Chain A
Amino acid sequence: MGGHRLPACDPQTKKLDNNMSKEFTIRINGRDIPAQEGETVLDVARRSDIYIPALCHLKGLSPVGACRLCLVEVKGVSRLVPSCTTYVHEGLDVITDSEGIQKCRMVILQLLFSERNHTCSVCVSNGHCELQAIAENLGMNYVRYPYRFPALKVDASHEKYAIDHNRCVLCTRCVRVCKEVEGAHTLEIIGRGVHSLVLADLDGLWGESQTCTGCGKCVQVCPTGALFEKGKAVGQMKKRNEFLPYLMSMRSLNR
Chain B
Amino acid sequence: MPEPAMDPKVDHAFLDNLITQYRHKPGALLAILESAQDHHPRKYLTKETLEYIGKEIGVSRSQIYNVVTFYSFFNLTPQGDHSITICRGTACHARGSKKILDFVKNMLQLQETNSGYADKLCLTTPDNRFTVRTVACFGQCALAPVVSVDERIYGYMTCRKIREIIEKLDREPVEPVPLFI
Residues of chain A at the chain B interface (Cβ within 8 Å): 179, 185-193, 195-197, 199-203, 211
Contact = CB atoms under 8 A, between A and B. Distances in A.
Contact of A203 (B63, B65, B118): B65
Interface in B60-76: 60-66, 69-70
Contact of B60 (A185, A189, A195): A185
B14 to A, nearest CB: 20
Contacts of B63: 185, 188
A192 B117 contact: yes
A180 to B, nearest CB: 12
B161 interface: no
Contacts of A199: 62, 65
A195 B119 contact: yes
A191 B117 contact: yes
B35 to A, nearest CB: 20
Given A202-B61, A211-B61, A188 B66 contact: yes
Contacts of A196: 117
A202 B64 contact: yes
B47 interface: yes
A201 B61 contact: yes
B147 to A, nearest CB: 24
A80 B51 CA distance: 41
Of listed B50, B69, B70, residue having the most chain A CB within 10 A = B69
8 contacts: A186-B60, A187-B62, A188-B62, A188-B63, A188-B66, A190-B69, A202-B50, A202-B62
Given A188-B66, A190-B69, A192-B119, 8 more contacts: A185-B63, A190-B65, A192-B70, A192-B117, A195-B117, A201-B61, A201-B62, A202-B61
B119 to A, nearest CB: 6
Main secondary structure of the interface of B (DSSP, over half): helix
A185 B64 CA distance: 11
A202 B66 CA distance: 9
A144 to B, nearest CB: 25
B66 A189 contact: yes
A29 to B, nearest CB: 39
Given A200-B62, A201-B65, A190 B50 contact: no
Interface in B103-138: 117-119
Scoring B62, B64, B66, B69 by chain A CB atoms within 10 A of each residue's CB, the highest score goes to B62
B76 to A, nearest CB: 9
A170 B130 CA distance: 35
B58 to A, nearest CB: 11
Nearest to B114: A195
A165 B60 CA distance: 22
Contacts of B65: 188, 190, 199, 201-203
Q: Which 4 A-B pairs have the closest CB atoms?
A: A191-B117, A188-B62, A185-B60, A188-B66
Interface in B38-72: 47, 50-51, 60-66, 69-70
A175 to B, nearest CB: 8
Contact of B47 (A185, A187, A202): A202
Contacts of B70: 191-192
A191 B47 contact: no
Contacts of A202: 47, 50-51, 61-62, 64-65
Most B C-beta atoms less than 10 A away, residue of A187, A191, A202: A202
Contacts of B51: 202
Contacts of A203: 65
Contacts of B47: 202
Interface string B6-45: 0000000000000000000000000000000000000000
A201 B60 CA distance: 8
Contacts of B66: 188-190
